[in-house]
C-alpha cells in the first residue's frame, strides 16, 4: 500500500542577508515526505544558508519556514542536522559512542541521565552506518568518511523524520560515498525525508528524487531530468561550469 505524501517543509518567500549582503532572495519551496532531495548550486549560492534557515539557525529578513505545520523554532526536535565536517572540532575528547548518544539529548529530561532506550537507539544508529566496532574510539582518530558516518548516526539516533545534511559526501572516497548514500536510501525507505546539500552534478541525477537549484534565488525545483539541463545550468553557473556530456544526458532522459 502506497502512503500518501504530505508537505513536511514549507518555505515561503525566504530572504536572508548577512550584513546587507543577500544570501537568499525570495525562495519558496514545498518538500514532501519520504523523499531524498538534493540542494545544488555554485559556491556561495546560499545552499548552506538555506539549510540553516530551515533549521532556524539564522533569522530571515522576510518570509517563513514551517516544519510539519509549525515554525522552525517550535519544530526543532523534529529535525536532525548533519553539519559540514569543517564545522566540527575533531580534537574534542569524545568517543564515537558519545557522539551518537548526543542525538538523544533532546529526549532526555535535564534532571536525569540517558537510559537503556537511549543507549539502544545510539548503538542501533551506529550499526546502521556500520560504525559499531569503533564505539570507543575518539572521533579525531577516525578517517574523514568515518567521521561523517558517526555524525550521520547522531542524526539517526535522534529519531526525527526529517534530516538535513550539509555536504555529507565532501572529502570522502568513492566507497564511503556509496556507503553513506546507502544509509540515506534506507532512511528514506523507513519514512524519513532527507534534504542534502550536494556539489557534484555528475551524481545528482542518480542520488536524488528531486533537486533544488539555488543561486541566491531558486532557479528550479523538480525531478533531476527537469533541473539538469544545459541551458539552465549554464545560466546559473555563468560559464564557470564545464558541462559534461553525461550530466546533460541524464538531464535529458
Neighbours of 8 (CB within 10 A): 22
- Look up residue 85 and give its DSSP letter: G
Q: Are 176 and 145 in contact (CB under 8 A)?
A: yes
Taking the C-alpha atoms of residue 242 and residue 253, their distance in angstroms, rounded to an integer, is 20
pLDDT for res 111? 66
The predicted structure's pLDDT at residue 195 = 98
Mean per-residue pLDDT, 71-94: 81
| H or E element that contains 247 | helix 245-252
Q: What is the mean pLDDT of the chain?
A: 88
Res. 86: pLDDT tops 70: no
Q: Say if residues 216 and 24 touch (Cβ distance below 8 Å).
A: yes
For residue 143, what pLDDT is reported? 86
CA distance 5 to 218: 23
Structural domains of the chain, ranges and CATH numbers in brackets: 7-252 (3.40.50.300)
Helix axis angle for 144-158 and 116-128, nearest 10°, is 140
- Cβ within 8 Å of residue 124, ≥6 positions away: 157
Q: 25 Cβ partners below 8 Å, 6+ apart?
A: 15, 216, 217
**Amino acid 27: pLDDT:** 97
d(CA 85, CA 167): 8
* pTM, entire model: 0.87
Give residue 245's pLDDT. 46
The string of pLDDT tens digits covering residues 164-191 is: 999 999 888 888 899 899 999 999 998 9
CA–CA distance, 89 with 15 (Å, rounded to integer): 30
pLDDT band at 114; cut points 50, 70, 90: confident
Alpha carbon distances (Å) from 202 to 85, 99, 141, 162, 197: 22, 32, 31, 25, 14
Instruction: Tell me the C-alpha distance between 250 and 4, whole Å.
Output: 28
pLDDT of the residue at 242: 57
Measured between alpha carbons, how far is 164 from 98 in angstroms, rounded to an integer?
21
Which of 213, 177, 180, 208 is closest to 195 using CA atoms? 208
Determine the 3-state secondary structure of 6 from DSSP: coil
Backbone φ and ψ for 227, nearest 5 degrees, come out as -80, -40
For the chain, the C-alpha Rg in angstroms (whole number) is 18
SS3 content of the chain, % helix, strand, coil (to 5): 40, 25, 35
Q: Give me the pLDDT at residue 109, please.
A: 63
Q: Tell me what pLDDT residue 1 has.
A: 40
Q: What region, left, alpha or beta, does residue 25 occupy, with left being phi > 0 and alpha being psi -120 to 50 degrees?
A: beta
pLDDT digits (tens, 9 = 90+) for 55-78: 999 999 999 999 999 988 888 778
pLDDT at 10: 97
Amino acid at each position: 500500500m502506497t502512503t500518501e505524501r504530505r508537505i513536511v517543509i514549507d518555505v515561503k518567500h525566504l530572504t536572508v542577508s548577512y550584513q546587507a549582503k543577500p544570501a537568499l532572495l525570495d525562495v519558496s519551496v514545498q518538500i514532501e515526505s519520504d523523499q531524498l532531495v538534493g540542494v545544488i548550486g555554485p559556491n556561495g549560492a546560499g545552499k548552506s544558508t538555506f539549510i540553516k534557515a530551515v533549521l532556524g539557525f539564522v533569522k530571515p529578513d522576510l518570509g517563513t519556514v514551517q516544519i510539519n505545520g509549525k515554525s522552525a523554532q517550535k519544530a526543532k526536535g523534529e529535525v536532525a542536522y548533519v553539519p559540514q565536517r569543517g564545522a566540527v572540532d575533531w580534537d574534542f575528547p569524545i568517543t564515537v559512542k558519545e557522539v551518537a548518544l548526543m542525538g538523544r539529548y533532546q529526549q532526555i529530561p535535564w534532571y536525569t541521565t540517558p537510559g537503556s532506550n537511549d543507549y539502544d537507539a545510539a548503538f542501533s544508529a551506529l550499526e546502521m552506518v556500520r560504525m559499531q566496532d569503533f564505539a570507543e574510539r575518539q572521533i579525531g582518530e577516525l578517517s574523514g568518511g568515518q567521521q561523517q558516518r558517526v555524525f550521520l548516526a547522531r542524526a539517526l539516533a535522534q529519531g526525527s523524520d526529517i534530516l538535513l545534511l550539509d555536504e555529507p559526501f565532501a572529502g570522502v572516497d568513492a566507497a564511503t560515498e556509496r556507503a553513506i548514500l546507502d544509509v540515506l536510501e534506507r532512511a528514506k525507505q523507513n519514512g524519513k525525508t532527507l534534504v542534502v546539500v550536494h556539489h557534484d552534478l555528475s551524481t545528482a541525477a542518480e542520488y536524488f528524487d528531486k533537486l533544488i537549484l539555488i543561486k541566491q534565488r531558486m532557479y528550479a525545483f523538480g525531478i533531476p531530468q527537469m533541473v539538469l539541463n544545459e541551458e539552465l545550468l549554464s545560466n546559473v553557473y555563468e560559464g564557470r561550469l564545464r558541462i559534461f556530456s553525461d550530466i546533460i544526458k541524464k538531464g535529458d532522459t
